[in-house]
Amino acid sequence: MTDLFSPARFGAIELANRVVMSSLTRNRAGAGNVPTPLTAEYYRQRATAGLILTEATPICAEGHGYPRTPGIHTPEQIAGWKQVTEAVHGAGGKIALQLWHVGRISHPDLQPGGALPVAPSAIRPAGQVFTGQAMKDFVTPRALETVEIPALVAAFARAARNAMDAGLDGVEVHAGNGYLLDQFLRSSTNHRTDAYGGSKENRARLLLEVMGAVCSEIGSERVGVRLSPVTTFNDISDATPQDTFEYVVAQLNPLKLAFLDVLQGTGGAPEEQWIPFDYDRLRARYSGNFIRNNGYDFATAQQAVTSGAADAIAFGRLLLANPDLVERFRRGAPLNAPDYERLYTGEEKGYTDYPFLPD
C-alpha cells in the first residue's frame, strides 16, 4: 500500500517519501539577496523530507517585493544557491527552487531605480508592504505592455536555467498567492483588453507561455507549478475559480510536468471559512503527480495519500518547526511549535535552532 513514507518518482526527481516541504519565505538572505551558509544549514536540516520546495525566489530584480529574499538572477545568487544544493544533496535530500515574480505586491523602494511595480492592470492592492525600513501603502502598479511580455517569459526560462546551474533538482513556477502570474489568472486583478485578458483562456495565456518556456529550457520532468485557486491573500479573487482553474489544469496536462502543487483554502482562514472549491474535481482532471498543501497533520496526510487523493502532501509550519518531521511522524513523537515571532527575523533564532529528536 502506498502511504506517506512510500518512495515516489516525480518526473526526473526521485523522492524517498511523500512528505514535501512547502515554500516558506524566511527573509534571511545576505547582501545582494544572496543565500548564506545559514540558508544552507536550514535546508540541510530538513533534507529528510522527500522533496524541499525552497522559499519563493525572484527571477529578476523587478520581481522582488520583500527585503532579504534570495534571488536567482545574479552570479552571486547562483553561487549561494549552489552551496545550499550541495548541503542538501550531501544529506541525501532533493530540492526544487520556487520561481517568483511578485508583480504589484511590491513598492518603488524595492524596485530598481524606484520604478513602479508591474502588474496585468493598474489596480492598487489593499494593504501595506514592509520595505525594509517601514510599512508603506501599496502603490498603483504599472500595467505591463503587451510587447514586454516575451521578455518576462524569457526571464522565467533564464531563472530556471540558473537554478539548474546551481544544482537544483527542479523548479516550481509560483503561479499562486496573489503574485504576478496569479494576478494574470484572476479576474479581480486582470482587466486587460489584449490577448492576455478577458476570457479565462486569455488570462491563463501568460502562465502557459511561462510553463512552456521553462519546460523547453530545462525539461518538463524537472518542472512543477504552484496554484492557489481561492486564496484571498494579497487582495485577489476570481469570479469563477472552479471554471478558471479546471481550464488551467487541462492545459497543463500535455506538458507532463513533474508535479502540480495546489494550495487549498482561503489565506490563513480556518477551514470552515474557506471559499467553496472542489479540489477532488481538480485532482480528477490532472493526469500527473498531485501535491495537496495547507492544514494537514499526519493523520489527514496519510489518509489523503493512501486514498489516492494526493500523491504527496506539502507541510509548511510543521517542517519549519520540526526539521526531522518525517522521523517524528514515523515514531508518533510530539511536535515542536513554530516560533511565530521569528518567522521573518532573528537569523538563526527560529530558523536553525529547533530541536531534533534524541537518537
Catalytic residues: 179
Instruction: Tell me the residue type at 117.
Output: P
CA 335, CA 300: separation in Å to the nearest integer? Answer: 16
- Inter-residue contact 4 to 322 (CB < 8 Å): no
The alpha carbon torsion through 209, 215, 216, 220 (nearest 10 deg) reads -140
The answer to whether 197 and 191 have CB atoms below 8 angstroms apart is yes
* 54 neighbors 97 (Cβ within 8 angstroms): yes
Q: Which three cell numbers stand for residue 243?
A: 471554471
Whether 313 contacts 284, CB under 8 Å: no
Instruction: Find the DSSP H helices in the chain.
Output: 37-45, 75-90, 149-165, 180-185, 200-203, 205-218, 241-252, 279-285, 298-307, 317-321, 325-331
Are 105 and 125 in contact by the 8 Å Cβ rule? The answer is yes
Q: Is-contact 164 126, C-beta < 8 A?
A: no
Euclidean distance between CA atoms 276 and 291, whole angstroms: 19
At 65, list the grid cell.
Answer: 517585493
307 Cβ partners below 8 Å, 6+ apart? none
Strand-pairing partners, residue 252, are none
Residue whose grid cell is 484571498: 232
Write the Ramachandran bin of 42: left for phi over 0, alpha for psi from -120 to 50, otherwise beta: alpha
C-alpha cell of residue 132: 525594509
